[in-house]
């Protein structure tokens, strides 16, 4: 069980009276979409409906509902100067006191969201790989740190799935569709093998390889000779490439994390509904 799911389970298991705040209608611009939900107790909070004055008002109303012993309330709020926000839209919220069944159902939604989390495979537990794992442990993904070397894996303190693998390309071939792969091993030949495997499966959301433009060109030539002309057009290399000249592992990892999460949260995955958003917002 992930830290996020553990937090949700603890929140609902306390038995403290709780209010579910659900975003039921959006007109115009809004920080969150219909179906977004958060949960409020007298002293606790799980999730977010977008922050700002909107959220403060919703929390206050939820705690008033708890104090008054009421069962539900509807709110119709403008997201403009009237409440000190500038989105310009309007939202409707439904606040309901949660029963035991409501709590179980909410936790089931968290579990469902975790099962649908995209997988991020960090191939290589060196300095950059470990730094990236440190960041990804807080993201709404199932992060897997893979290396052939037990000693390097042991240096990682991140709360991620750590796998010692003698044949790491097997992990790539067994990965769920839509996974992301960051190849950053200690060996260029192994990098080529793993990057080509990730490209070959054809369903990766992101494939990145640490290196340079020269290394990318060498991989292209290697794929032409050893992989029946496999195209590397879908490869990001170098990874985390920005105008920054800072090459510290933590800086590189931050830029790579942004690339990976952008790839995972755009297109079809971004429109897959609220279940993935539940865990994302619970982390904030």
Of 67, 59, 50, the residue nearest 21 (C-alpha): 59
For the chain, what is the domain count? 2
| Domain assignment of residue 50, given as a range | 14-115
- Same-domain pairing of 138 and 214: yes
CA dihedral of 43, 49, 55, 59, whole degrees rounded to 10: -30
- Same-domain pairing of 142 and 105: no
178/29 Cα distance (integer angstroms): 30
The pLDDT profile of the chain, 284 residues, written as one tens digit per residue, is 667 788 899 999 888 899 999 999 998 888 889 999 999 999 999 999 988 888 999 999 999 999 999 999 999 988 766 666 666 688 999 999 999 999 999 999 999 988 889 999 999 999 999 999 999 998 989 999 999 999 999 999 999 999 999 999 999 999 999 999 999 999 999 999 999 999 999 999 999 999 999 999 999 999 999 999 899 999 999 999 888 889 999 999 999 999 999 999 985 444 333 434 444 444 33
- Same-domain pairing of 228 and 110: no
Q: What is the pTM of this model?
A: 0.79
- Same-domain pairing of 140 and 259: yes
Q: Are 122 and 144 in contact (CB under 8 A)?
A: yes
Specify the CATH number for the domain of residue 125: 3.40.50.720
- Same-domain pairing of 140 and 242: yes
- Same-domain pairing of 52 and 145: no
- Same-domain pairing of 95 and 189: no
């Amino acid at each position: 069980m992930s830290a996020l799911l553990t937090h949700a389970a603890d929140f609902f298991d306390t038995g403290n009276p709780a209010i579910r705040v659900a975003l039921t209608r959006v007109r115009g611009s809004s920080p969150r979409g219909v179906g977004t939900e958060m949960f409020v107790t007298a002293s606790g909070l799980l999730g977010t409906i977008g922050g700002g004055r909107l959220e403060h008002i919703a929390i206050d109303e939820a705690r008033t509902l708890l104090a008054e012993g009421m069962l539900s309330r509807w709110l119709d709020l403008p997201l403009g100067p009237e409440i000190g926000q500038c989105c310009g839209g309007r939202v409707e919220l439904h606040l309901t006191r949660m029963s035991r069944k409501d709590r179980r159902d909410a936790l089931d939604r968290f579990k469902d969201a975790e099962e649908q989390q995209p997988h991020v495979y960090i191939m290589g537990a060196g300095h950059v790989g470990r730094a990236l794992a440190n960041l990804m442990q807080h993201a709404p993904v199932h992060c897997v740190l893979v290396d052939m070397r037990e000693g390097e894996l042991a240096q990682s303190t991140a709360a991620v799935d750590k796998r010692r693998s003698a044949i790491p390309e097997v992990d790539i071939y067994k990965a769920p569709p839509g996974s992301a792969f960051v190849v950053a091993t200690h060996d260029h030949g192994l990098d080529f093998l793993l990057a080509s495997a990730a490209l070959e499966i054809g369903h990766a959301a992101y494939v990145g390889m640490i290196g340079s433009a020269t290394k990318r060109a060498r991989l292209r030539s290697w794929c032409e000779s050893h992989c029946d002309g496999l195209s590397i057009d879908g490869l990001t290399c170098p990874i985390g490439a920005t105008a920054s000249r800072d090459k510290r592992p933590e800086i590189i990892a931050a830029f790579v994390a942004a690339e990976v999460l952008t790839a995972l949260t755009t297109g079809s995955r971004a429109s897959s509904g609220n279940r993935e958003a539940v865990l994302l917002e619970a982390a904030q």
